[in-house]
Amino acid sequence: MIEVGASAPDFTLRSHAGEEISLGQFKGEKWVVLHTFPLAFTGG
C-alpha cells in the first residue's frame, strides 16, 4: 500500500497502442493522471 502523499514507484504499462510507457518517462512533469479500468475485458 502506498501512503498518501508518497511518490509512486516506477512501473511500466502498455498503452492502448501497445507501446510500453513507464512512469519514469514523466519525471519532472507537474501532473500525471493514470486512469485504469480494473474490470475491463474480464467479464466481471
Residue 1 belongs to some domain of the structure: no
> What pLDDT sits at residue 44?
57
DSSP letter string, 8-21: PPP-EEE-TTS-EE
Q: The pTM is what? A: 0.56
**Average pLDDT along the chain, 44 residues, taken 10 residues at a time:** 87 90 89 76 64
> What pLDDT sits at residue 21?
93
Residue 5 belongs to some domain of the structure: no
> What pLDDT sits at residue 8?
85
Residue 38 belongs to some domain of the structure: yes
Bridge partners of 14, per DSSP, are: 20
How many domains does one find in the chain? 1
The domain of 21 spans: 11-44
